[in-house]
């Protein structure tokens, strides 16, 4: 094969490695993906029935405080001024999420000022240090107290992960700040937005270089394909970003993953829910959230009589499903250590990205990690 590097997976990690190795280092790169499209789970496209750009794998909002990552992504796309604001439905009422002073005051039917709210939550949370908590439930209670945990986190998390919150890593919750003011932006990063012309246009510009060849519909783990593990590994250097356990044919045991089922619908209204993401906190609603994509682009002129939504259902992935998130429960740790050892021993193959490293990486983290890898390859 006449290339210097094979990159498996055209998500943001694979795209970044391919782009840097080709453009900065002059290597000839072959980028393959099993799917017929690039962009991995950020893939977006314009819905034919409405003209509204939809995120097929769920809402993606870019955010980072990393100057290097921000400068890098701006080579390929500009970002809108969109700020993500999420609400959550609990027992028939809508609350701001993450929990802020408005959530606290609405939930407890009070009009507390910041210091009084802090004292109230401290009294409910008890004395234990949230930073010392190892599991999600312990950290959430140490942070929010039991009433807010039970209302907004316990059932949502159980629906999302299909795992007892006591067996989930506390780090999952570091994504959710607790605020004693009325700030309601979901993310706190310095730079935020949505790519002005969508994720797919961004991804396409990343591979727009004669030294990068993209082959889609190519499953690297299928030995009948010309570009497969069997044909390539050990001959040409490989960066593999697919599921870590699948690479080794699950030989070291099961790693648990979760997948999403997104049920798309077009509704004959100009606005279905008034915001881009509405969470459903309670156990009696089977879906975890509803995405309404028109709200991601308030700067565009979209039709006033149609809107696209997607209900998101979350479940454990089987081997036939697309894995989206590593579950990383306590039970996964032993197998993960065996896979990491196998990965280190695999000649000529480097593992990375959310699936290849079995880490819950956000977009900016995947890019940062790919930039680091490209520097040392």
Told to judge if 346 belongs to the known catalytic residues of this protein, a careful annotator would answer no
Provide the minimum distance between the beta carbon of 279 and ligand UDP in the complex, in angstroms, as a whole number: 4
The question of whether 258 is a catalytic residue gets the answer yes
Phi, psi torsion values for 119, nearest 5 degrees: -65, -40
**3-state SS of 66-85?**
CHHHHHHHCCCCCECCCCCC
Contacts of 83 (CB under 8 A, 6+ apart): 185, 192
**Which position among 87, 229, 289, 354 bears the catalytic label?**
289
Active-site residue identified among 33, 47, 135, 312? 312
- Output 148 or 371, the one with its CB closest to ligand UDP: 148
Nearest approach, Cβ of 97 to ligand UDP (angstroms)? 5
Query: Between residues 41 and 200, which has the closer beta carbon with respect to ligand UDP?
Result: 41
Nearer to ligand UDP, 105 or 285 (CB): 285
179 classed as catalytic = yes
Residue 157 CB, nearest approach to ligand UDP (Å): 4
Rounded Cα distance, 9 and 194, in Å:
22
By beta-carbon proximity to ligand UDP, the closer residue of 152 and 339 is 152
Task: Judge whether 247 counts as a catalytic residue.
Answer: no
CB of 361 to ligand UDP, least distance (A): 10
| CA-based nearest residue to 250, from 164, 324, 338, 328 | 338
- Mark whether 83 is an active-site residue: no
CB 121 → ligand UDP: shortest distance, Å?
16
Lateral strand order in the sheet of 257-267: 93-97, 86-90, 277-280, 289-292, 307-316, 257-267, 325-326
Question: Which of the following is catalytic: 75, 134, 175, 304?
Answer: 175
Which is closer to ligand UDP, CB of 228 or CB of 328?
328
From the list 258, 294, 306, 354, the catalytic residue is 258
Residues that bind ligand UDP (CB under 6 A): 88, 97, 152-153, 156-157, 160, 172-173, 175-176, 279, 281
Could you tell me the smallest distance in angstroms from the CB atom of residue 281 to ligand UDP? 6
Concerning whether 109 is annotated as a catalytic residue, the answer is: no
Q: Which is nearer to ligand UDP, 176 or 342 (CB)?
A: 176
Residue tagged active-site, from 20, 179, 229, 294: 179
Q: Does the annotation mark 360 as catalytic? A: yes
As annotated, the active-site residues are: 175, 179, 258, 289, 312, 360, 362
């Amino acid at each position: 094969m006449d290339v210097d590097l094979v990159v498996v997976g055209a998500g943001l990690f694979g795209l970044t490695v391919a782009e840097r190795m080709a453009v900065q280092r002059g290597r000839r790169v072959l980028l393959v993906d099993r799917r017929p499209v690039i962009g991995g789970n950020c893939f977006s496209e314009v819905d034919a029935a409405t003209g509204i750009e939809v995120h097929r794998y769920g809402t993606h909002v870019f955010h980072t405080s990393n100057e290097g990552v921000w400068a890098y992504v701006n080579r390929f796309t500009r970002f809108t001024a969109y700020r993500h604001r999420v609400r959550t439905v609990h027992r028939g009422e809508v609350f701001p999420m993450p929990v802020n002073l408005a959530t606290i005051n609405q939930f407890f039917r009070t009009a507390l000022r910041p210091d009084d709210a802090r004292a109230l939550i401290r009294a409910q949370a008890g004395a234990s240090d949230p930073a010392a908590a190892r599991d999600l439930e312990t950290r959430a209670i140490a942070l929010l107290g039991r009433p807010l945990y039970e209302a907004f986190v316990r059932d949502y998390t159980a629906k999302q992960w299909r795992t007892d919150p006591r067996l989930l890593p506390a780090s999952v919750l570091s994504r959710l700040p607790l605020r004693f003011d009325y700030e309601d932006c979901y993310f706190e990063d310095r730079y935020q937005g949505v790519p002005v012309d969508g994720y797919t246009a961004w991804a396409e510009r990343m591979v727009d270089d004669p030294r990068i060849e993209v082959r889609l519909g190519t499953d690297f783990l299928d030995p009948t394909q010309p570009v497969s593990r069997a044909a390539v590994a050990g001959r040409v250097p490989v960066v593999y970003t697919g599921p870590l356990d699948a690479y080794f044919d699950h030989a070291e045991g099961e790693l648990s993953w979760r997948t999403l089922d997104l049920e798309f619908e077009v509704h004959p209204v100009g606005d279905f829910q008034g915001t881009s993401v509405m969470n459903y906190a309670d156990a009696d609603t089977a879906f975890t959230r509803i995405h309404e994509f028109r709200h991601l682009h308030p700067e565009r002129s979209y039709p006033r009589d149609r809107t696209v939504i997607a209900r998101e259902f979350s479940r454990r992935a089987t081997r036939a499903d697309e894995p989206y998130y590593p579950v990383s429960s306590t039970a996964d740790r032993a197998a993960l250590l065996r896979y990491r050892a196998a990965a280190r021993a695999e000649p000529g193959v480097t593992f990375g990205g959310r699936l290849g490293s079995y880490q819950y990486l956000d977009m900016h983290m995947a890019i940062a990690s790919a930039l680091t890898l490209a520097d040392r390859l």
